[in-house]
Structure 1
């Protein structure tokens, strides 16, 4: 399976005293880079989350956001701390016996008193365990989204490989005749220019030039590299760096093919090959 470095996933989980929301998204990067934005209650879980994600991901700039919200949680309405309320009532009575002019507590004063509202917070260990549970589910969604994107990218690359093979197969049969014609033309020009030079010497010079313009090796290496691209894609996994190297090698052979060309057909083919290679390279840079 081929994976893109671009992906997204989001999950929520009701933990009783609140709702956990976790969001994962990633973009391209040469290495695996994490950015965490975690609520204070789960700050201690960041290291464990990093280990969880690192075990399944190898490249990409991954952003993880985790928040804990009371909105929508079951039983989220806070209860009054009746014991504390009674204590404050008794204390107020004692104060007013000694200071009758003192102001009485208002409802707002009582509600804002520390500990008056029994807002239960989840146990730290329980909350951390539920967060890991949520992160595991979100990670599976995240990897699935990267796999879907990777499948599309692989299809684009393979389509370009097919087009490159067609170009190579189309131009290969015409090359020997074109090179032979060019050599004969070169021989005639040398004879006309030099006249009295020994014919054997001219043949030697033409033969040397023929070696320089021979593109059979470049065409063979192009085909070999295309075979390797297909093999890597079929193998799957984290293959982005390997494919990026192959794109460099393909581009090198296409450049050499163009520099050795002695016909417009080969030159045009080299240009089209380079265009297809560049299109593949753009897609490869998105792969994990």
Structure 2
């Protein structure tokens, strides 16, 4: 076994026959002869492991947990499959990558129990993975895009335009054998804040730019292996929200944390309404969707709540 120590350790594990790259965060005073609760993390779209998972990993390790944050197939430091291209993040593969991350944690002799924590799209990924992976003993979602149909599909005209663009991109990639990169939310790596807010025209534009924009807290300058540009067929899978339609099948105890004033609150409340398992809810005033990615006060609220829930 590799040499592991308290803090951040670079690790790899196999998924789809290739080595995915992760950061394994271990608590202070880590002793490989002791037993720890471990958490596998799932990140928001379109993130790499140095963003939200790089914030939550150290926080959960500080609270005594082993935490695995990793780059999905084709993202960040993880390679794409032969003949495929980087910056391709597909829902069904994300679920399988998560199952393999759980398998990897299960090989570590100091791990006694595995939990799942997902933020934004990561909530949907983790909940979907957990439906048939009961090795995941408890779930927590933060700002989760859980019951996303009402959020994503409200304007069918816009959605069908996105689908048409994605279908065109898929065909183009197949025929040319070359990647077709787009900015899924209209945000490129070069725009100014003013340009993006005017273009996006959504309530979340400012907070999104401050995180992902050119000079953002976790934008392309701050995070070397991150870009806002992605393979153009993305919408063909990101518009399918599996966890919403399997919510009543989730057996594991679940914690749902969200900002009650955030535009995405409906994605958590709609999911909560469909849960039939033992679950707890923490709806917080005063924080937006993206605040739970990085704002110290919001992150403290969510990580304290997750630690308490996972320790019960």
Q: Same-fold call, TM > 0.5?
A: no
TM-score where L is the length of structure 2: 0.20
Higher relative contact order (CA 8 A, sep 6+): 1
Structure (1 or 2) with the greater strand fraction = 2
| Structure whose residues are more often helix by fraction | 1
Q: Please say which structure displays the higher CA radius of gyration.
A: 1
